[in-house]
Amino acid sequence: MNVNNVNIDNQTKLESLAWEWAKKYLQNLGKDDPENTGDYTQNLQYIVSQAGREQTAQKIMKELRSSSLQAWHQVEALLSPEISRHQIDTIYIDPWQISGDAYSIYEKTLEVYIQQAPLRQLTTIIQLAKVGEPLHQKVMDIYREQVAPSQLATKIGVSVGALRRKYTQNDPRVIGFVSMQFHYTSKILLQKLSPLEGSILSAYFKAIDDHLYMPLQRVYEAAAKYDFNSHPLTVVKQLLPHSTRIAKNISQRIIELYPHYRSRNGLLSSTEIQVSSIRDVEMFQVYLWLSVLEQNVSAIQQELFPLCIMLYPTLNVQWELIRQMLHLLIKEINYYLNPQQMEIVMPYYHFLWALFSPNVFEKIEFNSNISQLTNIDFREYSSI
């Protein structure tokens, strides 16, 4: 479905969902250490000014090519063994093309960043400082109104959604290489900025991250086909505003259950791992919504599952954690939906639960031929 060809009512629904999702970026900006209030307000005033935004964008563009190269070396170190292990055709993994596409996305992102001029005055910033709120809360309050969420999701989301379709059409697992390229590139770029610049720009980079890991554009397009008060769309609209809170609750509970568990990059309680964990729980939610809206499980079976099979063992994420996450997820969802709405979700959740069942992994010798997993008929594990 071409988003540009939907009628006005459907376009409104699409933008409404995009706006709701984009608002959440602004509630998760990076945290900085407290600074002197006077210095802080002066720095923030300049950084959010037109000149400050342009200067930040110039820094990023100057470092983008070298950062992209460093990022790809990290991707290769992490995932190159998986190419043969998962029998992925290397014709679909072109580092030059991926880097070129990434460059274009970062350019578009910075265009949006530069165009969104500040709305709050310095006096408002000083007032926020006086009430004793933490630094990240001040930044969040200022930018909740400054960044136009629908513009952010539409301009970045549509482009990244098209990129996502490009890299999933032949082999959905390729998006894992692309996603990690963006992840490492953004991480390297943010390290080259001041903490305050990084805390602001990270909201924009998170938009890229989310639209790559999650089929958000596909969700928007599927939602646009429904009447406004249709039951499947109502379920998604009911859950969407709470998705980050759900993800944070689950992530925190997993940390409590596995306090000493260490993934490839550190303890579950570390800041970096928590950010990734929250994103992953949101990713599972989005795939569940997509199944509800499309009324089939193809996205879960053909995209989500193969991607998890490739990435999670590499990152030392055990399947027990995924099962625990899914167990907690349905409990969280149940809190926000009535029984009739739960009936809409449950068939797709049951499929997701069965997909990550130990019984599935017992069907094959996991280490000998991973590709067999994507060919299993999962209907025997599900009511769908």
* CATH number of domain containing 238: 1.10.490.20
Same domain as 311, residue 242? yes
**Residues 262-296: pLDDT tens digits?**
998 889 999 889 988 999 999 999 999 999 999 99
**Residues 68-118: pLDDT tens digits?**
999 999 999 999 988 988 899 999 999 999 999 999 999 999 998 888 654
Structural domain including 247 reads: 226-384
User: H helices within the chain, ranges in order?
Assistant: 8-23, 37-47, 50-85, 95-115, 122-130, 135-146, 149-168, 174-191, 195-213, 216-223, 231-239, 243-257, 271-294, 298-299, 305-314, 319-336, 339-355, 358-362
Task: Name the domain count of the chain.
Answer: 2
Q: Single out the residue in 217, 238, 259 at which a domain terminates.
A: 217
Q: Which sign, positive or negative, has the C-alpha torsion 177, 301, 22, 9?
A: positive
> Which DSSP helix (H) or strand (E) runs through 263?
strand 262-263
Same domain as 257, residue 176? no
pLDDT of 41: 55
Same domain as 281, residue 182? no
- In the three-class reduction of DSSP (H, G, I as helix; E, B as strand; rest coil), residue 262 is classed as strand
Q: Single out the residue in 153, 186, 217 at which a domain terminates.
A: 217
CB under 8 Å to 333, separation ≥6 — which residues? Answer: 239, 246, 342, 345, 349
Contact between residue 153 and residue 19 where contact means Cβ atoms under 8 Å apart = yes
**Residues 12-60: pLDDT tens digits?**
665 666 666 655 554 554 444 444 445 555 577 788 788 888 999 999 9
Average pLDDT, whole number, for the chain? 80
- In the three-class reduction of DSSP (H, G, I as helix; E, B as strand; rest coil), residue 267 is classed as strand
Contact between residue 326 and residue 353 where contact means Cβ atoms under 8 Å apart = yes
pLDDT of 217: 86
pTM over the 0.85 mark? no
Same domain as 131, residue 33? yes
Same domain as 349, residue 211? no
pLDDT at 309 over 60: yes
DSSP state of 26: G
Q: Single out the residue in 194, 217, 240 at which a domain terminates.
A: 217
Binning pLDDT at 50, 70 and 90, where does residue 196 land?
Answer: confident
Same domain as 35, residue 78? yes
Q: What number of residues does the chain have? A: 384
CB under 8 Å to 320, separation ≥6 — which residues? Answer: none
Same domain as 30, residue 141? yes
Same domain as 167, residue 127? yes
Same domain as 97, residue 59? yes
Contact between residue 357 and residue 303 where contact means Cβ atoms under 8 Å apart = no
Same domain as 233, residue 198? no
pLDDT at 328 over 90: yes
Contact between residue 172 and residue 310 where contact means Cβ atoms under 8 Å apart = no
Answer with the residue of higher pLDDT: 5 or 87: 87
Residue with tokens 């482009």: 159
Same domain as 210, residue 234? no
**Residues 344-384: pLDDT tens digits?**
999 999 999 998 887 766 654 444 334 444 444 444 444 45
First-to-last C-alpha distance (Å) of the chain: 25
pLDDT of 340: 97
**Residues 115-164: pLDDT tens digits?**
865 444 434 444 444 444 454 444 444 444 444 445 666 778 888 989 99
Same domain as 159, residue 241? no
